[in-house]
């Protein structure tokens, strides 16, 4: 699930199909909670390393690589390095060019996950007792292309569109090697080259501190947005080498989900990424970001308070945890007097686990990391509000497709014991169905507005006309263990991914079989094929149109410069849910407010609480005057915004 959005030695990584419930990085892995205890005995061992296929040998400027035969009549190359390992003195530095190799490189195994708090629900199970997984040496990418003999690789005008996938996971967890993200079917059925990339996560990917800025080679490195710089480095690798795989470096689409969708928007705003991609596709994305002040200042700074996990606060925790000083006040004084060079040395001497431990809040889940990111530094990324930057035309002028799932928020409500009861640690039943549906609709609509409507409206106001939008509505989920999953989860966050990639992979063979059954096979496969067509058509020429085979309903452009809900989007569903069709969006802040006001059954306290959490939590939406006078009874005397 990517919205919550949220080992040092290099060694080959065998792709493991543990009962890791990999899909939950995007949402579906929540199903693991239903039956995880009863399925422990099904945990398989490591899958065999693929056999090198000599017809996949490719000569790059860096050296020769050989991959393997994959599904859908494709070749795949896994674990290709696009930068030097960001370890030791290269931690918190811009990614450095990879060194060439002399011998043929076997590209048969995915690179290790980047260091993170492990989570079975994120597809990267903990590997240590403290709950961590992965390593710092992780800057690798993977390529899938239709199968070609070396002498048949397309060239010139025959080169194929390239689609670069940026995984989600709150930018704090995740891995491009998940089976769910296997690009073979998308590449093989649609005639595109698919690339999936890794990038540094959490505080190893986003960390801004004056001591590090003091040694930065340039303003981009001083930004602290190392994960974003990794993504740009991967795009440069694609520009320089993708032709050898039959891809067109002049026709590159970036696409990502959840935090990956946020990263797509960020790259649209990054001057350093100019010319490296030519279409942008954001799935369930957002414009969440942090100021330099929030990233660096102490949380109790009287003039400009920082985030509770700002770099100043983290340094204090690290000094105390390392035993350098006895307590936080002493750590603040010590850090203030420490030369920048000594503080840099101290920070780089911390093991990754020490760094991650400093981001764990008291009593919070071990897998949760709250890291402010990305940073509006003014060089790599705009310092101004990103909606304002879009509206002012300060972005890369490329076609944009953005969308979300209809029931984005149900996933998060389903994991909240306040709304879903549990028995024996498993999800059991919805406590109050009416309240559950109300909250799901309000919070889901807010997320859709933030990630789709507001960005597209701002782009439209700038004069940008090549905009497209969708909503994923497919919710034909069969009951599992007596639970009505269509009600509990519906078309939740990330549930489009198994259809987009055609993998039908939720991390466990048993769960995959339970979720994707024979009775829904024909319709879901038809929808999956349509989605692949639309995505590939957009990658080919910047408009989804009628798909790559021109046999689908025409996807019309989105146009709603006011953001008031007058745009049109494609609804993605199976025949039983209405099928593929264009519809009015009819969503905006005012529609959310109206729905809240019109809920006749709500008591005053609940109505005011929902205003605070749905509307008041967003600074640009909140209105104290509106809150005080909220119909029918106002909110005077209730907690303030």
Q: Which residues are catalytic?
A: 258, 408, 493
Nearest residue to 55 via CA among 182, 140, 159, 153: 153
Q: Which residues share a beta bridge with 291?
A: 376
Rounded to 5 degrees, what are φ and ψ at 572?
A: -105, 110
End-to-end CA distance of the chain: 28
Q: How far apart are CA 494 and CA 491, in angstroms?
A: 8
Q: How far apart are CA 208 and CA 205, in angstroms?
A: 10
Checking DSSP bridges between strand 247-257 and strand 160-166, what pairing results, if any?
A: parallel
The helix (run of H) or strand (run of E) holding residue 250 is strand 247-257
Residue 432: partners with Cβ closer than 8 Å, 6 or more residues away: 419
Q: Are 131 and 254 in contact (CB under 8 A)?
A: no
The helix (run of H) or strand (run of E) holding residue 211 is helix 210-213
Nearest residue to 533 via CA among 514, 554, 556, 549: 549
Residue 377 to residues 208, 251, 392: CA-CA distances in angstroms?
Answer: 9, 29, 18
Rounded to 5 degrees, what are φ and ψ at 494?
A: 85, 0
Q: How many CA atoms lie within 13 A of 142 on its CB side?
A: 31
Nearest residue to 171 via CA among 125, 240, 231: 231
CB atoms under 10 Å from CB of 116, counted, come to 30
The helix (run of H) or strand (run of E) holding residue 422 is strand 420-423
CA 414 from chain center: how many Å? 20
Residue 524 to residues 485, 500, 503, 515: CA-CA distances in angstroms?
Answer: 16, 11, 12, 11
Checking DSSP bridges between strand 105-106 and strand 160-166, what pairing results, if any?
A: unpaired
DSSP symbol at 407: B
**Dihedral of CA 524/582/466/230: which sign?**
negative
């Amino acid at each position: 699930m990517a919205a919550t959005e949220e080992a040092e030695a290099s060694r080959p990584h065998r792709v493991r199909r543990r009962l890791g419930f990999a899909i939950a990085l995007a949402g579906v892995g929540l199903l693991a909670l239903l039956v995880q205890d009863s399925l422990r005995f099904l945990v398989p061992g490591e899958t065999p390393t693929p056999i090198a296929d000599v017809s996949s040998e490719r000569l790059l400027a860096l050296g020769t690589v050989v991959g393997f035969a994959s599904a859908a009549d494709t070749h795949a190359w896994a674990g290709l390095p696009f930068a030097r390992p960001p370890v030791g003195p290269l931690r918190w530095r811009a990614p450095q060019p990879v060194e060439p190799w002399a011998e043929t490189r076997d590209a048969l195994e995915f690179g290790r996950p980047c260091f993170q708090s492990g989570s079975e629900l994120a597809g990267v199970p903990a590997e240590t007792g403290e709950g961590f997984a992965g390593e710092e040496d992780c800057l690798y990418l993977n390529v899938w292309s239709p199968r070609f003999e070396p002498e048949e690789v397309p060239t010139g005008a025959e080169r194929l569109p390239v689609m670069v996938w940026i995984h989600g996971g709150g930018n704090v967890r995740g891995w491009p090697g998940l089976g769910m993200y296997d690009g073979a079917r998308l590449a093989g059925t649609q005639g595109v080259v698919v690339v999936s990339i890794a990038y540094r996560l959490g505080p190893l990917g986003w960390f801004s501190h004056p001591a590090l800025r003091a040694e930065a080679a340039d303003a981009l490195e001083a930004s602290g947005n190392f994960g974003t710089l990794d993504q740009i480095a991967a795009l440069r690798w694609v520009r320089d080498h993708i032709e050898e795989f039959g891809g067109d470096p002049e026709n590159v689409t970036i696409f990502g989900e959840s935090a990956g969708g946020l990263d797509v928007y960020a790259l649209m705003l990054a001057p350093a990424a100019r010319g490296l991609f030519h279409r942008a596709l954001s799935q369930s994305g957002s414009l969440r970001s942090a100021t330099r002040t929030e990233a660096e200042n102490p949380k109790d700074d009287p003039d400009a308070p920082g985030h509770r996990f700002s770099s100043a606060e983290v340094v204090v925790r690290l000094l105390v945890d390392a035993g350098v000083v006895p307590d936080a006040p002493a750590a603040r004084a010590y850090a203030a007097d420490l030369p920048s060079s000594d503080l840099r040395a101290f920070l780089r001497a911390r093991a990754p686990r020490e760094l991650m431990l400093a981001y764990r809040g008291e009593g919070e889940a071990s897998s949760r990391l709250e890291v402010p990111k990305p940073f509006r530094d003014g060089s790599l990324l705009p310092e101004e509000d990103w909606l304002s930057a879009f509206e002012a035309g300060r972005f890369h002028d490329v076609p944009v497709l953005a969308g979300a799932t209809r029931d984005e928020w149900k996933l998060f409500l389903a994991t909240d014991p306040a709304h879903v009861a549990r028995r024996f640690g498993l999800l059991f039943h919805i406590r109050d169905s009416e309240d559950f549906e109300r909250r799901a609709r309000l919070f889901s609509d807010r997320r859709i507005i933030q990630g789709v409507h507001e960005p597209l409206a701002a782009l439209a106001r700038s004069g940008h006309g090549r905009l497209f939008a969708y909503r994923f509505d497919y919710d034909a989920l069969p009951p599992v263990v007596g639970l009505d999953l269509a009600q509990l989860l519906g078309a939740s966050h990330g549930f489009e991914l198994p259809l987009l990639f055609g993998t039908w992979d939720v991390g466990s063979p048993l769960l995959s079989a339970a979720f994707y059954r024979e009775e829904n096979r024909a319709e879901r496969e038809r929808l999956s094929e349509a989605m692949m067509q639309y995505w590939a058509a957009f990658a080919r020429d910047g408009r989804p149109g009628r798909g790559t085979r021109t046999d689908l309903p025409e996807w019309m452009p989105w146009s709603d410069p006011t953001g008031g809900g007058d745009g049109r989007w494609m609804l993605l569903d199976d025949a039983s849910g209405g099928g593929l069709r264009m519809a009015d969006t009819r969503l905006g802040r005012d529609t959310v407010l109206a729905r809240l006001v019109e809920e006749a059954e709500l008591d005053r306290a609940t109505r005011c609480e929902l205003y605070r959490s749905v509307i008041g939590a967003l600074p640009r939406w909140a209105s104290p005057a509106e809150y005080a006078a909220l119909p029918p009874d106002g909110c005077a005397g209730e907690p303030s915004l």
